[in-house]
Amino acid sequence: MSITNNTFEYLQDLKNNNNREWFHANKKRYDTVKANFEETIKALIVSIGEFENMTGVQVKDCNYRIARDVRFSLNKDPYKTWLSASFSEGGRKSGKMDYYLHIQEGESFLGGGMYSPTPEQLAKLRQEIDYNAKELKDIIYNPDFVRVFGEAEGEAVKSAPKGYSKEHPEIELLRKKQMFYWHKFTKEEVCSPDFVKKVTEVCRTLKPFLDFLNYVFFEHQEPEIDL
């Protein structure tokens, strides 16, 4: 089962009628769309599992709820107008950098990277760039990577982060507070029979960058020095 145009029609109607009354009156439509998307997630767990450890990961570990958390938001619309899922070892709550799939009219994409880093994670990345930027540059400036993702998007400090000189040879990388890469899909691509294959290929290209971040954030430790 592949994602169909009915999904986009439903999401557009939900956008125009974002209230609980309409949602519950059209619950059968939502259930069909949800089941359709979950089949795609299930297929992606298998295909991404060819190069990532997805052992034990189930659909519910990847899929995001359509209901919005409006407690701290000015936007009180009760529902999201998109479908989304994240794929990684341990599922979306693992805390690891993962592959994020987003399905929305005119804004469907597969993305991943450093979107909301903790201060500790950002400090670790800058330390790694300061010490040896070559590994990261070899990944993000690789021609195949650039062809699929282009340049990273996200915020950056205006000058230089604290503790680093404006004259640092890698100042452009050090300035970044976010490094998130996107690959967009057209509606025709999303609805095509080989969409899972296309997403999987994009994930393969993104993998070295996510591996790098996960190593820096979660595995890399400074060696102990005996005094």
* CA 187 – CA 52 distance, rounded (Å): 27
Task: Tell me which DSSP letter residue 64 carries.
Answer: P
188-221 per-residue burial string, b: 16 or more CB within 10 A, e: under 16? eebbeeebbeebbebbbbbbbbbebbbebbeeee
Confidence of residue 225 (pLDDT cuts 50, 70, 90): very low
Paired tokens of 4: 């169909």
* Residue 68: pLDDT over 60: yes
Q: Which of 66-75, 92-101, 119-128 has the lowest mean pLDDT?
A: 66-75
pLDDT of residue 223: 45
Using alpha carbons, list the distances in angstroms from residue 155 to 30, 58, 68, 95, 114: 35, 33, 25, 21, 11
Q: What average pLDDT does the structure give for the chain?
A: 93
* CA 123 – CA 32 distance, rounded (Å): 45
Contact predicate 101/85, CB 8 Å:
yes
In what helix (H) or strand (E) does residue 101 lie, and over which residues does it extend?
A: strand 99-103
- pLDDT over 70, % of the chain: 96
Contact predicate 78/19, CB 8 Å:
yes
- pLDDT over 90, % of the chain: 89
